[in-house]
A = this chain, B = another copy of it.
Amino acid sequence: MKTALEAPPLGPILDDLVRYHRPQRESGSVPANIPFLAAVPFDKFGIAVATTSGKVFSSGDADIPFSIQSISKVFTLAMALRGDKSGTLWSRVLREPSGTSFNSLVQLEVEHGIPRNPFINAGALVVTDHLMEETSDAATQLLRFLTLEAGSAGPFIDEGAAASELSSSSRNLALAHFLKDFGNLKQPAESVVENYVRQCSIMMTCTELAQAGLFLAKEGRGRLRTVLSPSDAKRIGSIMLTCGMYDAAGEFAYRVGLPGKSGVGGGILVIVPGECAISVWSPRLDAKGNSLAGTAALADLSDRTGWSVF
């Protein structure tokens, strides 16, 4: 990895990425079961970098809020680890790649209700259930966390979108009831799914997201407080690298070479340990459910800056 001294100037690079990667025409897909995501114009593209030295760079549509969807799983995991004094979380969810589609029930049945990792839907439901032991409104709790770390009052829950998504949440309800059947869900299945969906419906900008994720590049030190121990921050980074991109983790590890987490809203959060947090957003997805233009831009950025853990 190149050191900060030899790194090229970020501002012009980000502008260049926007010029080169902003979609010129419709391409890729939208999530079939979430109508409001399909309505986002295909040519949106934003990128932001928050550095450990306190600077923020951005370009393109970096200040338009988008739906963070599964990127929320990184933050709910951080919150759950932060509060996990008893250390029980890791007995309820594993930390290994899943090898099957992100919402498969097969793996869950074969492994008797213990999800493979916190970033598949079943695992995220268990994390949410864990958070709900302290507060029934885990989604609002997450919103507070993001607001605090982003240093901005901008993030909000799109309750209309949440209600819409909740009405087509059969798969998540199936997962939640299945977890309950295995004794791995303590709150009512419907409440856990509702909280989960509201977490996914949080809207924030690239700039806010990069700032909110910066503690993961700073060994757990947040804007005003210690969010996590260095060990737990490292843990989250390793889970992002091995499990953060649905069934394309291996491909992303190669092309980008950095811990990342994507959402079907088209956002991706990436961590460069010790250097910065990066967020990118462009709504159209590839076959694995990751932002098409976003992934390409991150690979390009990795090549230009030399940022890579490999």
A residues with a Cβ closer than 8 A to B are 1, 3, 94-100, 104-107, 109-110, 116-117, 170-171, 173-178, 180-181, 189, 233-235, 237-239, 241-243, 247-251, 253-254, 257, 259, 273-274, 308-310
Contact = CB atoms under 8 A, between A and B. Distances in A.
Contact of A308 (B105, B109, B234, B308): B234
Contact of A177 (B104, B116, B170): B170
Contacts of A241: 241-242, 253, 309-310
Contacts of A239: 250, 253-254
Contact of A309 (B96, B176, B309): B309
B238 A96 contact: no
Contacts of A247: 96
A244 B54 CA distance: 36
Contacts of A274: 1
B238 A243 contact: no
A1 B217 CA distance: 12
Interface of A (DSSP majority class): helix
Nearest to A256: B238
Given A174-B177, A253-B242, A310 B237 contact: yes
Contacts of A104: 109
Contact of A249 (B173, B176, B181, B242): B242
Contacts of A96: 97, 99, 247-251
B99 A250 contact: no
A107 to B, nearest CB: 7
Nearest to A100: B99
A107 B107 CA distance: 12
